[in-house]
Amino acid sequence: MARGTGQGGARRRMMVLGFTGGALGGHLGGWRHRDSFPTTTMQLQCMVEMARIAERGQLDMMFLADGNGVRQMDKPALFAANSPSDRPAVFEPVTLFAALAQHTSKIGLVATATTTYEEPFSIARKFASLDHLSGGRAGWNLVTTQYVEDAKNFGRDEHMGRVERYERAHESLDVVRALWDSWATDAFPQDKATGQYLDPARVRLTQHRGTHFAVKGPLNVARTPQGQPVVFMAGQSEAGKELAAYGGEGLFGTASSKAQAQKEYADIKGRMPKYGRPPDALKILPALSVFVGRTRAEADALYEELQSLIAPSLAVSYLSKLVGFDLTDAPLDGPMPASPGESVGGTAIGRSVLEMAAREGLSVRGTYERVLPSMGGNMVKGDPVEIADMMEDWYTGKACDGFMLSMPVQPRSLRDFVELVVPELQRRGLRPPDYRGTTLRENMGLPIPADPFLH
């Protein structure tokens, strides 16, 4: 049970809600809409504004996806148009969150870092620091890196294969957690009278020697407010699911239908008992793009307007990027081609898109029209009651524990969600009336890991 909830006794489970914090918005045409930020590149102010709006709506977390390279330079139209997930010029997310932590007080700050190209010591140190700077609001989205080209910025010609990436990820996660457990909570008495700054009996070495890493430890950061930052993942491959069951506390998904989400939910939760973990120790949060209006007509109008901001050639280029193979020569109104083979990089979104196209017999045009608004995940469009109905249906139907929201136009869509949908979710008892604690763990309903020196 989380500590310090101030509510006493068992707490009701609540839908977990986060949002993807890209200032360009989640729709490819979002940044061109008149209600979007006028400029976003390296603008701290945009990030502060979104975090504060989300905090007014008691959202549990702001999430920043990330990579270590500039993409799509081989697709000039897409490169010029800047699709929301490409990020040619963005702040390094942990650095950015260190700044945002000083402008917010409740919202969780979940940053992405890759185990493929970063060392566990650096990851442990950065996120432990962020947890201190934010008073217990840090989360790490562990990725193995989706984009093969990132390898070329780290002294490699090729991206590591999936098996090796996930072996490294598993080992890295264990080492990071061991490093976070370096110091006892009370290791630094800093007693002026006796001259004792720290207690040498309250620290331990990590002494790890494995296949991929050798780390002596200890970490040079004191035990953090959450004990350990919350670990998120987003891999949907077999290896990705297994790692999430083993050690993830949040999992982002891409399911595009309730049935698919229910299947994945049961699959991943079903893998947890063999690791001695209760199902509720991992919160599954499918991505959800929300097009909300005060009325259904207003939501439809926003949706149509955004779709009209994207030329078909750009849309095909974007779809090619998502599925991982080139669709330029495929007839627009012909059937969506199947994948020519398994790709080395990300599979999650691409596979979900191809499954949807096959399931629904969509053309190339039909596929991108479906994919553009949702980024390949799920989308919902309507008035606040319709949006809340869909969210409640998935949540109570064991399709998810909450959602990772994608907002098509920023900051308009986030503000609309907070003002229109959050009160409806609260009225239904799906969301708390206020933050339930000061740490991300408390707000997500996750336990604070025990201090190993006390047990």
Ligand X SMILES: Cc1cc2nc3c(=O)[nH]c(=O)nc-3n(C[C@H](O)[C@H](O)[C@H](O)COP(=O)(O)O)c2cc1C
- Is residue 378 close enough to count as binding ligand X by CB under 6 A? no
CB of 347 to ligand X, least distance (A): 4
Residues composing the chain: 455
Least CB distance from residue 68 to ligand X, whole Å?
Answer: 9
- In angstroms, the first-to-last Cα distance of the chain is 16
- Considering beta carbons, is residue 252 or 318 the nearer one to ligand X? 252
| 324-343 residues near ligand X, rule: CB under 6 A | none
346 binds ligand X (CB under 6 A): yes
28 is an interface residue for ligand X by CB under 6 A: no
One-letter identity of residue 269: K
- Pick 154 or 453: Cβ nearer ligand X: 154
Q: Which two tokens stand for residue 399?
A: 């399709």
Question: Are the C-beta atoms of residues 404 and 64 closer than 8 Å to each other?
Answer: no
Listed residue (416, 299, 421) closest to 50, CA to CA = 416
> Does 230 sit near ligand X (CB under 6 A)?
no
Query: Does 432 engage in binding with ligand X (CB under 6 A)?
Result: no
Residues of 126-162 as b/e, b for ≥16 C-beta within 10 angstroms? bbbbbbbbbbbbbbbbbbbbbbbbbbeeeeeeebbeb
Q: Among 454, 404, 453, 446, which residue's Cα sits nearest to residue 136?
A: 446
Q: Is residue 145 part of the contact set for ligand X (CB under 6 A)?
A: yes
How many angstroms separate the CA atoms of 174 and 168, rounded?
Answer: 10
Q: By CB under 6 A, how many residues form the interface with ligand X? A: 23
Task: Specify the residue, 91 or 183, whose C-beta has the smaller distance to ligand X.
Answer: 91
Give the residue with the Cβ less far from ligand X, 33 or 351: 351
Residue 234 binds to ligand X (criterion: CB under 6 A): yes
Alpha carbon 176 to its chain's center:
19
Residues 257-296 that bind ligand X (CB under 6 A): 287
Residue tagged 């007014």 (tokens):
56
Cβ count near 169 (within 10 Å):
24
Rounded to an integer, what distance in angstroms lies between the CA atom of residue 198 and that of residue 394?
50
356 binds ligand X, rule: CB under 6 A: no
Contact call for residue 227 and ligand X (CB under 6 A): no
Parallel, antiparallel, or unpaired for β 283-292 and 402-406?
parallel
123 near ligand X, rule: CB under 6 A: no
Question: Is 93 an interacting residue with respect to ligand X (CB under 6 A)?
Answer: no
Query: Is residue 86 at the binding interface for ligand X, with CB under 6 A as the rule?
Result: no
Contact between 112 and ligand X per CB under 6 A: yes
Least Å from the CB of residue 70 to ligand X: 14
Pick 47 or 65: Cβ nearer ligand X? 65
C-alpha to C-alpha distance for 394 and 430, rounded to whole angstroms = 12
CA distance linking residue 352 with residue 85, whole number of Å: 17
- 83 binds ligand X per the rule CB under 6 A: no
Using CA atoms, how far apart are residues 220 and 13, in angstroms rounded to an integer?
36
Q: How many CB atoms lie within 10 A of CB 105?
A: 12
Phi/psi at 141 (5° precision) = -90, 105
Q: Which stretch binds ligand X (CB under 6 A): 195-203, 232-240, 315-323, 438-446?
A: 232-240
Binding map of ligand X across residues 166-185, x = CB under 6 A, - = no contact: --------------------
Does residue 235 bind ligand X (CB under 6 A)? yes
Strand, helix or coil for residue 214: strand
> Which of 234/284 has CB closer to ligand X?
234
Q: Is 101 in the site for ligand X (CB under 6 A)?
A: no
Q: How far is the CB of 345 from ligand X (least distance, A)?
A: 6
Return the CA Rg of the chain.
Answer: 22
Under 8 Å CB-to-CB from 427, ≥6 apart: which residues?
Answer: none
Regarding 379 and contact with ligand X (CB under 6 A), the answer is no
SS3 155: coil
Q: Is 240 in the site for ligand X (CB under 6 A)?
A: yes
Confirm or reject binding of residue 404 to ligand X (CB under 6 A): yes
Options 115, 146, 228, 260; binder of ligand X; rule CB under 6 A: 146
Question: Is residue 66 involved in binding ligand X (CB under 6 A)?
Answer: yes
Among 182, 206, 224, 254, binds ligand X (CB under 6 A): 254
For position 348 contacting ligand X by CB under 6 A, the verdict is yes
Least Cβ distance, residue 31 to ligand X (angstroms):
19
User: How many C-beta atoms lie closer than 10 Å to residue 358's C-beta?
Assistant: 13
What residue spans of 159-255 are helical by DSSP H?
A: 162-180, 238-247
Residues of this chain that bind ligand X (CB under 6 A): 65-67, 112, 143-146, 162, 234-237, 239-240, 252, 254, 287, 346-349, 404
